[in-house]
Amino acid sequence: LHSRDQSFHEPHAPEVIVSPNSTEEVSGVLRYANEQHIPVTPWGAGSSLEGNPIAVNGGIMMNFVNMAAIVDTRPDDFQVDVQPGVTRLELNKALSRYGLFFPPDPGANASIGGMIANNASGIKTIKYGATKDNVMRMEVVTANGEIIHVGTLARKDSSGYDLLHLFIGSEGTLGIVTQATLKLAPLPAKFSAVMAAFEDVPSAIRTVVDVVGAGLEPSALEFMGMETIRVLKRDKGLEAIDAPTILMEFNGSNDDAGLNEALEICKANGSINIQTAPGQEARNKLWSIRHGTYESLLREHPNKSQLHLDAAVPVSKYPELVAFTQSMLVEYELLGYIYGHAGDGNLHCNMIYEPDNHEQFQRCKTANARIVEKAISLGGTATGEHGVGIGKRHYIVEQHGAALDVMRQIKMTLDPNGILNPGKIFL
Ligand SMILES: Cc1cc2nc3c(=O)[nH]c(=O)nc-3n(C[C@H](O)[C@H](O)[C@H](O)COP(=O)(O)OP(=O)(O)OC[C@H]3O[C@@H](n4cnc5c(N)ncnc54)[C@H](O)[C@@H]3O)c2cc1C
């Protein structure tokens, strides 16, 4: 269970798994591991897609199953203090009684510690931001066992270096998060969703750019390629036509105005089929189908493996990235399913391969590498949300240039013995 995440990366078991009960215990384990130069890899729910929590050098795996409490909820401040092991769904269930929720939504039932470490995001990012935009303060244990606090409970802060955001997204390589204060949002009273199909990919993507450009603030804006739609129809009974499709959600009090304007934009871009899902029940059905894309693809291709693309570009460059991705699938003769958080310029392509077909796997890796290089050349990133982990280490050299040396110096300062999640981010 603790030797692999949800990616294709090779499993590797740790020597020992510890499940601390308190920050002091985390500190004690780290102090000992630092003295003995033993690797420590934090583990949340293991749902990563880039090998982020795999203990590639063995050592200690630190599991947060015993530190999963919701410590304090302050509805008047829209804040909650949690331990890292609580999962997103457990948290949101508990918060619903206050009419509040924690918006970042990576689809999987990830732990809050894992979401912070990967700076996870997902379908709600376009309106609510990524995890980094929804964390206010953290308790962190550094490699030598020291307990520090970063960030503030105030909504704004100009005091000193922004260490909060240094630790967020650091994939457990700089420190271990033992408590976090999260920013909450009111549960929207009204929801509506639109599914619009288009003759071709450029018209669908043009619609994404136009909706963002019109300042409509959808709470989700997703693109699904035709092959992906076909699988969801077969697997989940999605009622749709076989065509590139945009899925949008509006929530809050002025959802009708946003929805109506979005419908006009879809029509102006030649949408060939528009379906609306007014109300929460219809909207929930649609989004649960979208959320299940990964599982639907697994069922469509039993006993096959998937390589996940996670590139992101400025939204105006999204059409170019989608077209390039399609051309790569053709050039390398691959079956790949394209979809993504289009409103954020984040593109996924799940490439299917036979687990024991090395030559086919190499073709997937080469196509993936060329798409990532294209995304970086368009001003984008190798990874919009899954993190660097093992799989994206090559690309951050190209993406960050000399800034990578600064990252290495930070790592050396905070973790001079290299015990925290070694083998990740840096080659
Ligand atoms: C079906 C599916 C869909 C997905 N969709 C998305 C998506 O839309 N968006 C997205 O962002 N991700 C997505 N993911 C990836 C994954 O869910 C996220 O990366 C998530 O943040 C991982 O959280 P986790 O709790 O599973 O962490 P893990 O995988 O266990 O660990 C993730 C990283 O966090 C570190 N870590 C864990 N706990 C701590 C801690 N307390 N302190 C410091 N470091 C810690 C680990 O060492 C590791 O580096 C998806 C995954 C699946 C399987």
- Whole-model pTM: value is 0.96
Mean of pLDDT values over 169-192: 96
Atom of ligand 1 nearest to the CA of 42: 47
Q: What is the pLDDT of residue 259?
A: 85
Question: Residue 87 gets which letter from DSSP?
Answer: B
Residue 195 pLDDT class (50, 70, 90 cuts): very high
Please give the share of the chain, as a percent, with pLDDT higher than 70: 99
Least confident piece of the model among 90-99, 243-252, 334-343, 401-410: 243-252
Token pair 């909706």 is at which residue? 211
Residue 28 pLDDT class (50, 70, 90 cuts): very high
Is 283 in a helix, a strand, or coil? helix
* Segment holding 62, helix H or strand E: strand 60-63
Q: What is the pLDDT of residue 114?
A: 98
Over the stretch 202-230, which tens digit does the pLDDT of each residue have?
999 999 999 988 988 899 999 999 999 99
Whether residue 416 has pLDDT greater than 70? yes
Q: What is the pLDDT of residue 163?
A: 98
CA distances for 1 relative to 41, 44, 47, 55, 302, angstroms: 14, 12, 11, 12, 20
Whether residue 254 has pLDDT greater than 70? no
Token pair 């990235």 is at which residue? 321
Closest C-alpha residue for ligand 1 atom 31: 114
* β-bridge mates for residue 92, sequence order: none
- Describe the crossing of helices 226-236 and 280-291 by its angle, rounded to 10 degrees: 110
Q: What is the pLDDT of residue 255?
A: 60
Whether residue 58 has pLDDT greater than 80? yes
Ligand 1 mean position to 123 CA, how many Å? 15
Over the stretch 137-153, which tens digit does the pLDDT of each residue have?
999 999 999 999 999 99
Q: What is the pLDDT of residue 298?
A: 93
Ligand 1 within 6 A of 50 CB?
no
Tell which wins on pLDDT, 313 or 107: 313
Over the stretch 289-299, which tens digit does the pLDDT of each residue have?
888 999 999 99
Atom of ligand 1 nearest to the CA of 111: 25
Ligand 1 within 6 A of 177 CB?
yes
